[in-house]
A and B are shown apart, each in its own frame.
Chain A
Amino acid sequence: MQNMFRDVTSQLLTKALDTASMRQRVISNNLANINTPGFKRSYVTFEEELRKTLETNNRVNLNSIQKIEPQINKDNSTSMRLDGNNVDMDQEMVDLAMNSINYNTAVQQLNKKLGMLRYVISEGRR
């Protein structure tokens, strides 16, 4: 029997949750170092990679999704202040709000998915 949690939706939502918690960590680190001279901000990329994979493959394929991992990159190009620090507090706060909403969305979708499984298990009786 096929594992019932190894479908594309669950895998994608798991990846989304992983990305959101990694991004939360990176934002925490950026804001923790807002007064550290010479600090450069980091950011997480995942969605671009996912879009590319979805565009190249006509069918959504489980293996290609599992290969995509969120990546942490460092932004060395800019400077916000004279001390070389490039953390933009407003930008980070916006990213933080977006990240929380993304996380909550993924949790809610996962709950709906599990609810459907539960509905089937109880033969539609609820």
Chain B
Amino acid sequence: MKLFQSMAISASSLTAERLRMDLISSNIANINTTRTEDGGPYKKKVAIFQEQLERKINGQNVGSGVKVAAVEEAKTPPKMIYDPGHPDANKDGYVAMPNINIVNEMVDLISTTRAYEANVTVLNASKTMAIKALTIGRG
């Protein structure tokens, strides 16, 4: 049934946006992390979104939501801060700090929240329509 499919589409986006939100939390939490398992400072994580395609209704191409194709590390170089007393400083006295810009993260946080809210609204509208369809032929 098409209305349940639209609910599934909204749900796929809620999952994806929540994962993006988790990555933003992780980025902000690790803004001062200079040691990781791979060595070097923490690197900003980015979720790569991809449209899910599905060929179904009379050969017409209908999308079936969004999926997170990959979680990748941002390509920007680490920020070099001069702090000779830091245990992780190199021989010139510079410390490699994570490539995270707090302003960018806050903006991403807002856009993620708005996208999440929009999808919740769509989900509720689909639900109301499905419940309305149950009243056909009643009374």
Give the tally of cross-chain contacts (CB within 8 A).
Answer: 120
What CA separation (Å) do A29 and B133 show in the bound complex? Answer: 21
Q: B121 contacts which chain A residues (CB < 8 A)?
A: 93, 96
Q: A42 contacts which chain B residues (CB < 8 A)?
A: 62-63
Q: A37 contacts which chain B residues (CB < 8 A)?
A: 49
| B125 with A32: CB separation less than 8 A | no
Within 8 A of B (CB), among A75-102: 89, 92-93, 96-97, 99-100
A97-112 near B? 1/0 per residue, CB < 8 Å: 1011001100100110
| B51 with A35: CB separation less than 8 A | no
Within 8 A of A (CB), among B87-139: 111-112, 114-115, 118-119, 121-122, 125-126, 128-129, 132-133, 135-139
Stretch at the interface among B9-17, B23-31, B32-40, B77-85: B9-17
User: Which one of A35, A39, A72, A111 lies within 8 Å of B135 (CB-CB)?
Assistant: A111
Stretch at the interface among A16-24, A48-56, A60-68: A16-24
| A114 with B2: CB separation less than 8 A | no
**Interface of chain A, helix or strand or loop or mixed?**
helix
- Identify 11 new A-B residue pairs, CB closer than 8 A, beyond the known A29-B6, A35-B20, A111-B138: A22-B57, A27-B122, A28-B7, A28-B9, A29-B65, A31-B13, A35-B16, A99-B125, A103-B132, A111-B139, A115-B139
Interface set of B (CB-CB < 8 Å, partner A)? 1-3, 5-7, 9-10, 12-13, 16-17, 20, 49-51, 57-58, 60-66, 111-112, 114-115, 118-119, 121-122, 125-126, 128-129, 132-133, 135-139
Task: Give 20 A-B contacts (CB < 8 Å), ordered by A residue.
Answer: A22-B57, A25-B9, A28-B7, A28-B13, A29-B6, A31-B10, A31-B118, A32-B9, A32-B63, A33-B13, A35-B112, A36-B66, A72-B57, A72-B61, A74-B61, A92-B118, A93-B121, A104-B129, A111-B136, A114-B137
Interface set of A (CB-CB < 8 Å, partner B)? 17-18, 20-22, 24-29, 31-37, 39, 42, 69, 71-72, 74, 89, 92-93, 96-97, 99-100, 103-104, 107, 110-111, 114-115
